[in-house]
């Protein structure tokens, strides 16, 4: 099995968006550099966790490197998904890192690899795909805010999970 390895260094844009109606939305993490466009499928919970982790990292970086803080004007950043949306893979896990010399944050997304239990006697090597997205701090702040907004734009009560819930008083 050949694995995908993509490095967008640095990205022109990075965003999270959804496709589909409430209750059936598919979340996408997307980034691009030049003509290269990379879309990945993520879970709603991953979008929320990513937003939270970025917020925490940005607060830490602002405390450690206050001279490198920049103001964020969301009106100047296009956070819409770009077409065509053709996912490279579904994400299993993500990680964040920081390059102090270049003042860039790296978002690393690793592919979810599902093994076939029927072929357990002969395991296949699994090399998950990896995408690295190198982003500026303002891009990451915008991603954090936008990802949380996308998560909150779903059903008013996520516990319904697409079902009607009846209450008797």
pLDDT in tens, 21-62: 888 899 999 999 999 999 999 999 999 999 999 999 999 999
Q: How high is the pLDDT of residue 20?
A: 92
Q: For residues 30 and 146, is the Cβ–Cβ distance under 8 A?
A: no
pTM across the whole model: 0.83
Q: For residues 28 and 87, is the Cβ–Cβ distance under 8 A?
A: yes
Would you give the distance in Å from CA 159 to the centre of its chain?
23
């Amino acid at each position: 099995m050949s694995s995908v390895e993509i490095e967008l260094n640095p990205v022109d844009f990075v965003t999270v968006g959804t496709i589909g109606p409430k209750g059936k939305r598919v979340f996408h993490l997307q980034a691009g550099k030049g003509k290269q466009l990379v879309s990945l499928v993520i879970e709603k919970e991953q979008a929320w966790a990513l937003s939270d982790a970025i917020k925490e990292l940005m607060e830490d970086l602002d405390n450690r490197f206050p001279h490198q803080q920049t103001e964020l004007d969301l009106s100047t950043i296009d956070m819409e998904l770009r077409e065509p949306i053709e996912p490279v893979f579904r994400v299993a896990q993500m990680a964040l890192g920081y390059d102090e010399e270049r003042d860039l944050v790296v978002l690393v997304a690793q592919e979810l690899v599902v093994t076939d239990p029927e072929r357990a006697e002969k395991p296949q090597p699994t090399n998950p795909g990896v995408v690295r997205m190198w982003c500026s701090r303002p891009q990451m702040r915008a991603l954090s805010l936008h990802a949380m907004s996308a998560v909150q734009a779903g059903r008013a009560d996520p516990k319904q999970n697409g079902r009607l819930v009846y209450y008797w008083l």
